[in-house]
Amino acid sequence: MSTKPLKILVSGDVEGHFTTLFKRVETIQKKNGNFDLLLCVGDFFGRDMSAWSQYKSGELKVPISTLILGPTKSELEIYYSGEEGEELCEGVTYLGRQGKFTGSSGLQIAYLSGLDGSASGKGNDCSFTPNDARSLTAPIVNDSGFKGVDILITSQWPKDVEKYGSASKRGEGKYPSSACIAELARVLKPRYHFAGLEGVFYERQPYRNHQVLLDPARHVTRFVALANAGNKEKLKYLYAFSIVPLSKMDTTELVKQPEDVTECPYVLSNVLAPKQEEEGQQFFYDMKAGPPTRGRKRGSHGDRGRGRGGGGRGRSEEGENTQGEYQEKKPRREVQPAGPCWFCLGSPEVEKHLVVSVSDKAYLALAKGGLVPDHVLILPVHHHQSLLSCPEDVVKQIDKYKSCLRKMFKSQDKGVVFFERNFRTQHLQIQAVPIPQDSIIDIKDTFMSCAESEKIELAEIPKHSDLKQIVPDGAPYFYAELPTGEKCLHRISKHFPLQFGREAVCEPAILNMPERVDWRTCKLDMDEEKELATTFKANFRPFDFNFA
């Protein structure tokens, strides 16, 4: 299935700098040929509106079909004369407060104007409510045939968008990020999501829209935030790309995963669920009536109107409501050990002489019966059974320890294997075993070979995967992070060899220590353990983040 790609431009906040924007567009088109459409996020209008009258009168021409969002500031409402979906001047169309635009090319663009007004519960010309966002998600939440939309444009950023990705330079941000927009993006699964308002350029690594090993592969989403037009710092405010509409793409091509893909930063939320007093039943949609619509200051029209772009006139779509996927979640209870725990740091059972580094959320301890002298465990200070059950702040500190260990072992010309077995254990233990540099090349094949001999299905998962997105909470598993950056996972069903991780690392191609597979044969007396702990502390201290 092949079709000609559409050439799209997207701009950040224009703020009245129309000539700056359109001259830049003309320059790009002279060099690269004409583009099909310009989308503008953030505030299109601003305080300096001297040039607008020239565009309205036709004295100056808009060089490209342009679609814009609504205002985020009340003083800019006066420039949005006319109805939603109508041209404000020749070539510039105001899309409206929210809706979905489908061009004759098949390109689907979902849009939500304004700032998140969830706190007040009231929407107006400059803000939206959960009801407004829900009007976009309600028609498709239970549609098994829904694949996603091509583009989502909002002014505000979605909440948690930087999770699993690189950090932006927005700092605290001019505006709080929106949980409503995050849930909207999670449900609509746009291939591109553009936002503005923050005055910075940020292109996040693409994130996947499916759970690895659990769901069929889906396309990825690319989130891009754009700076203000003509900004003095010369940050990128105009983004050019080509796109074949999702509806016309071959599935195999559509779902290809780039190397830097991450897990989806958003989790299922009830933020768009109807309130009990609105719908009669909390966290479920009322199937008898569609979602409440947003009041219109400039008249109430049943249709959204039409915009220009994508090679011709398009249509906006709103559907009837269906039962949603939102259901009230009960607060999770903290799991407590069934009896005395050998690894909770505050427990009298802990062998304190093995502890080699302590922070507030996690700590390091020498492994009892370690494979090599610097074989250590990374453990949470408080009781958490597995990596899946750890709060985010605990996981971050565990990752810090991993990073420090990698640096230390690299300085010793070694790599490090991390593995966890969430099976017949009470307390999370991440084993960290250093291996010789020249054996790293064989590590993946060795693990896979051991798995095959044990009749275990050990799957390689993407490097940027988040275990919490793949394995259900409470499910048993074996998980390994290799020094090559590769990750391996086995979902345990009934039986699993408890020493599998040690067995693989002890293979001839790695440590060549088959006699040390069983930790009980490797135990030392307390004086020997104390001596090893003292040596490890001295070697680790220059790399320990607690002393940075």
Dump pLDDT digits (tens) for 22-67. Answer: 999 999 999 999 999 999 999 999 988 888 999 999 999 999 999 9
Q: How confident is the model at residue 285 (pLDDT cuts 50, 70, 90)?
A: very low
Candidates 263, 257, 276, 181; CA nearest to 467 is 263
CA Rg value for the chain = 28
Q: Are 194 and 153 in contact (CB under 8 A)?
A: yes
What is the spatial distance between Cα 204 and Cα 122, in angstroms, rounded to a whole number?
31
Taking the mean position of all CA atoms in its chain, how far away is CA 409?
30
Three-state secondary-structure class, residue 202: strand
* pLDDT per residue as tens digits for the range 230-242: 999 999 999 999 9
What is the spatial distance between Cα 522 and Cα 387, in angstroms, rounded to a whole number?
27
Taking the mean position of all CA atoms in its chain, how far away is CA 445?
30
Instruction: Report the pLDDT value the prediction gives residue 142, as an integer from 0 to 100.
Output: 76
What is the spatial distance between Cα 412 and Cα 481, in angstroms, rounded to a whole number?
19
**Six-digit token string for 199:** 């005055």
Q: Are 9 and 25 in contact (CB under 8 A)?
A: yes
Please check the confidence at residue 81 and state whether its pLDDT lies above 80: no
Instruction: Report the pLDDT value the prediction gives residue 412, as an integer from 0 to 100.
Output: 97
Q: Are 246 and 150 in contact (CB under 8 A)?
A: yes
Q: What single DSSP character describes residue 57?
A: H
What is the spatial distance between Cα 220 and Cα 207, in angstroms, rounded to a whole number?
5
What is the spatial distance between Cα 433 and Cα 375, in angstroms, rounded to a whole number?
5
| Alpha helix ranges (H) inside 138-274 | 179-188, 251-254
Q: How confident is the model at residue 307 (pLDDT cuts 50, 70, 90)?
A: very low
Q: How confident is the model at residue 532 (pLDDT cuts 50, 70, 90)?
A: very high
Q: Are 151 and 108 in contact (CB under 8 A)?
A: yes
Instruction: Report the pLDDT value the prediction gives residue 275, as an integer from 0 to 100.
Output: 58
Average pLDDT over every residue of 10-22: 96
Strand partners, 222: 192
Comparing 126 with 346, which gets the higher pLDDT? 126
Please check the confidence at residue 320 and state whether its pLDDT lies above 50: no
Q: Are 136 and 108 in contact (CB under 8 A)?
A: no
What is the spatial distance between Cα 361 and Cα 393, in angstroms, rounded to a whole number?
7
Candidates 261, 259, 191; CA nearest to 219 is 191
Instruction: Report the pLDDT value the prediction gives residue 331, as an integer from 0 to 100.
Output: 42
Instruction: Report the pLDDT value the prediction gives residue 336, as an integer from 0 to 100.
Output: 55
Instruction: Report the pLDDT value the prediction gives residue 335, as an integer from 0 to 100.
Output: 52
Q: What angle do CA 395, 401, 403 make, to 5 degrees?
A: 105
Residue type, 156: Q
* pLDDT per residue as tens digits for the range 435-469: 999 999 999 999 999 999 999 999 988 887 788 87
Q: What single DSSP character describes residue 205?
A: P
**Six-digit token string for 31:** 């060099």
SS3 per-residue string spanning 15-30: CCCHHHHHHHHHHHHH
Place of tokens 């051991």: 450
Instruction: Report the pLDDT value the prediction gives residue 102, as an integer from 0 to 100.
Output: 85
What is the spatial distance between Cα 103 and Cα 115, in angstroms, rounded to a whole number?
26
* Cβ contacts of 320 within 8 Å, gap of 6 or more: 139, 290
What is the spatial distance between Cα 463 and Cα 440, in angstroms, rounded to a whole number?
16
E strand or H helix at 151: strand 151-154
Domains of the chain, with CATH numbers?
6-255 (3.60.21.10), 352-543 (3.30.428.10)
* Cβ contacts of 452 within 8 Å, gap of 6 or more: none
Neighbours of 321 (CB within 10 A): 21
How far the first Cα of the chain sits from its last, in Å, is 56
